[in-house]
Amino acid sequence: MPLIRDIAQADYSVVEELLNSNDLGDGRFYDPEGLDVIVAELHGSVVGVAEFQIHCDFGHDEGREAHPGEQTFVLTMAVADTDRRSGVGRALLTEIARRAQEAGHTFLALAPQDGDDATSRQAFFQACGLTLYGSDKPGAAWGCPVSKILDADATNSRPLPHQTSPSH
């Protein structure tokens, strides 16, 4: 299992490359200002990243009918091609759900990025328990109760190693 930890400044260039290789970067120097960011490490190398907002009212701002109230919103997730299907993405999502629960939020939401890999992204999020809520249109929100993600992780009976502060 990967080590999940907060991003450190030393990770910025690796995260920038990881986002760009997944067509999720903007081509500029990586700066996570204003975001919550965690990374996944395997064998001492960063192989995954997730950007999120622990406190978000995305649904209300967008006028979504099925909006569940303040929630944690995942902005971006990326895993190195060589480490997909190894539990890295699920470990990142589980850590976000754990932090959301600690913050008192009961719902996790996201809008899967469009692009060439959109179908596999949606399949991944669906396999993790998230479902479409609201209307099915570009930028549609997906979400689920935080407990659903945490319960699925507990069912897998694999302890999730995590560290809440940078280790540099």
Q: Does domain 3-155 have CATH number 3.40.630.30?
A: yes
Q: Are 92 and 77 in contact (CB under 8 A)?
A: yes
Beta bridge partners of 117: none
Q: Would you give per-residue pLDDT tens digits along the chain (168 residues)?
A: 899 999 999 999 999 999 988 888 777 788 898 999 999 999 899 999 999 999 886 555 555 555 556 689 999 999 998 898 889 999 999 999 999 999 998 889 888 776 667 778 888 888 898 888 766 766 678 889 999 999 887 776 444 444 444 443
Q: Are 34 and 80 in contact (CB under 8 A)?
A: no
For the chain, what are the domain ranges? 3-155
pTM of the complete model: 0.83
Cα(68)–Cα(50) distance, integer angstroms:
22
Helix (H) or strand (E) segment spanning residue 145: strand 142-145
Helices 88-102 and 146-155 cross at an angle (nearest 10°) of 130
